[in-house]
Structure 1
Amino acid sequence: MEPIPPFTLNLRSYGLQADEHRHDHAQLVLPLAGRLLLDIGGRERLLGQGQGAFVETGMRHTQVAHERNRALILDLDPHQVPLPLLERLAARPFLPIAPAAWRLVDYMGLVLQGGPATTGQLQHWVPLLLDQLAQQAPRAVSRLTALLARVQASPEAAWSAERMAQQACLSTSRLHALFRSELGTTPAAWLQQMRLDRVRDWLVTTDRPIAELALAAGYADQNALTRAMRRATGSTPAALRRAARGSA
């Protein structure tokens, strides 16, 4: 097998076919447009902009998308990644990308639309990106990660910033500060996006009635869901389901 270069950067899009595979290098998956459903060693997450995933060497994984998408894929020689960062990424493969790092990711994606990156560009970009990832405070992210997992497990619950703060043993102001620094958003905006992402996934993958999906995602009724989705996307749940089925 030919040796792989230390860094390889590509733009890729994915479809409905879940192609399970492994490879001899580590990989960062960074969605630039649309959303990807990733399964990494049995751990599954729907990712969009401002989020990333790390696939360690030899780990089984799949990527599936139910909408048009584009992702920045960084293939890495694991020996070129600092061991503490490598271990942390392997232990927590789904990660929020801090605003400073995301600006770099977005810039790299724009440049790659015009053609492949040069060796010189990669030698500047990749260490800077890894350095940004290494600087993300693990304690704060770990505390938020536990909270986010709890909210995602029960999206129908009556979540508020105050209740989230109580669950995370934080003050409300501290919770807002962590959301701003780690996710670049607010608790309310994150909750709204998470609920809409969950509904969109259900619309594509299930035949459950829309009114039932609205309640399961934490909306008062189907009308409330429709208003929220129209504000966020300009479309409606029914239109999204029709489009997904027509595409399939």
Structure 2
Amino acid sequence: MVTAATSYSIAVRSYGTHSTVDTHDFSQLVLPLAGELSMDIAGRQAIVDRSIAAYVEAGCRHDQVSDSDNRSLILDLHPRDLDTRTADRLASRPFLSLTPEANNLIDYMGAQLATERMASHKLQLWVPLLVDALLGDEPQLPSRLASLLAAVEADLSRPWTVENMAEKVGVSASRLHAIFQETLGKSPRVWLTDMRLERVCRLLTSTDLPIAELAFRMGYADQSALTRAMRKATGLTPAAYRRQARVRD
């Protein structure tokens, strides 16, 4: 499994026809977005493309070349990022078949990096899902939490409670509260409020949707409930926030 304390870094890179033989004290996942690479990992060779990813163990000599356009996500994993069993399983099969699920996760991260700097909490939730998909495992708890957060963000109008979120993950409400505190440093309710208000603020700035409509879309009982939440969080009403944002623009 992926450990709780992580130090991931990720980037999109392309490689050319010149040999790039390298070793480093961290491991890497090479996750193709487009094109193909010819890779040599400690004498084992394969073409890395949309059907094959590569895992380079820390300290392992490797090389990659390509004579065509290519782009790959390069995920750096430091020793504390993976437990020993997971690291050993990846090292034993440096070239990994990509399932549709894994490719969807790779495409998602590629799209995120193309439009914005990746928030560390999103990366920490994405990596366990990816590792599960690469190894063909049943989703572990970190992955199930990531799936929950994605589901909530996709349907903020739903009347989410701690109890039904916990049921979706398959744990008790008290256990979910502890997991949120350990992983995100906040309770499920606070996280949900933050997500809703973040989306509201974005839509206030980028659209002309009526405030009552925004309240409905974000799961508030009415416009007054949204106004109270906004004033508490920002000191401004939704209408004042929208005016201030447009003056800045």
Match for residue 35 of structure 2? Answer: 34
Q: Return the letter of the residue paired with 2:115.
A: G
Could you report, residue by residue, the CA deviation over 1:132-172 in whole angstroms, capped at 9, with x for unpaired residues? 223359xxxxxxxxxxxxxxxxxxxxxxxxxxxxxxxxxxx
Matches within 5 A, 1:73-222: 73-136=74-137
Contact 1:98 1:136 in 2 (8 A): no
Q: Which residue does the alignment assign to 1:60?
A: 61
> 1: distance between equivalents of 2:32 and 2:112?
15
Residue 109 of structure 2 aligns to a residue whose secondary structure is: helix
For structure 2, the residue ranges without an aligned partner over 5 or more in a row are 1-5, 139-249
Q: What is the CA–CA distance in structure 2 between the aligned matches of 1:102 and 1:20, rounded to whole Å?
A: 26
Q: Secondary structure at the match of 1:27?
A: strand
SS of the residue corresponding to residue 132 of structure 1 reads helix
Count residues in correspondence: 133
Distance 1:111 1:42 in 2: 34
Q: Which residue is 1:176 aligned to?
A: none
Q: Partners in 1 of 2:132 and 2:65 — Cα distance?
A: 29
Q: Rg larger in 1 or in 2?
A: 2
Partner deviation per Cα, 1:165-203 (whole Å, 9 max, x = no partner): xxxxxxxxxxxxxxxxxxxxxxxxxxxxxxxxxxxxxxx
1:93-148 per-residue CA deviation (whole Å, 9 max, x = no partner) reads: 001022112211111011111133111211111122122223359xxxxxxxxxxx
C-alpha distance in structure 2 between counterparts of 1:127 and 1:21, whole Å: 26
CA contact (8 A) 2:41 2:61 kept: yes
Match of 1:163 in 2: none
Cα distance between partner residues in 2 of 1:52 and 1:87:
16
What SS is found at the alignment partner of 1:72? strand
- Cα RMSD, aligned residues only: 1.6
The one-letter amino acid paired with 1:30 is: L
CA contact (8 A) 1:33 1:49 kept: yes
Question: Cα offset for 1:11?
Answer: 0.3
**Alpha-carbon distance between aligned partners in 1 of 2:7 and 2:87, rounded to the nearest angstrom:** 14
Question: What is the alpha-carbon distance in structure 2 between the residues aligned to residue 107 and residue 98 of structure 1?
Answer: 14
Question: 1:20 and 1:115 mapped to 2: Cα distance?
Answer: 30
Normalised by the length of structure 2, the TM-score is: 0.51
* Aligned residues with identical type, % of pairs: 44
1:127 maps to a residue whose letter is P
Q: Is the 8 A contact 2:97 2:134 kept in 1?
A: no
Post-superposition Cα deviations, 1:36-92, rounded to whole Å, max 9, x if no partner, equal 000101111111113100000000001101100000110001322132221111111
| Amino acid of the structure 2 residue aligned with 1:92 | R
Return the alpha-carbon distance in structure 1 between the equivalents of residues 48 and 116 of structure 2. Answer: 25
Q: Which amino acid aligns with 1:16?
A: T
The AA in structure 2 aligned to 1:121 is K
The runs of 5 or more residues in structure 1 that have no matched partner are 138-248
Q: Which residue of 2 aligns with 1:70?
A: 71
Q: Is the 8 A contact 2:96 2:134 kept in 1?
A: no
Range that drifts further, 121-130 or 36-45: 121-130
Partner SS state of residue 115, structure 2: coil
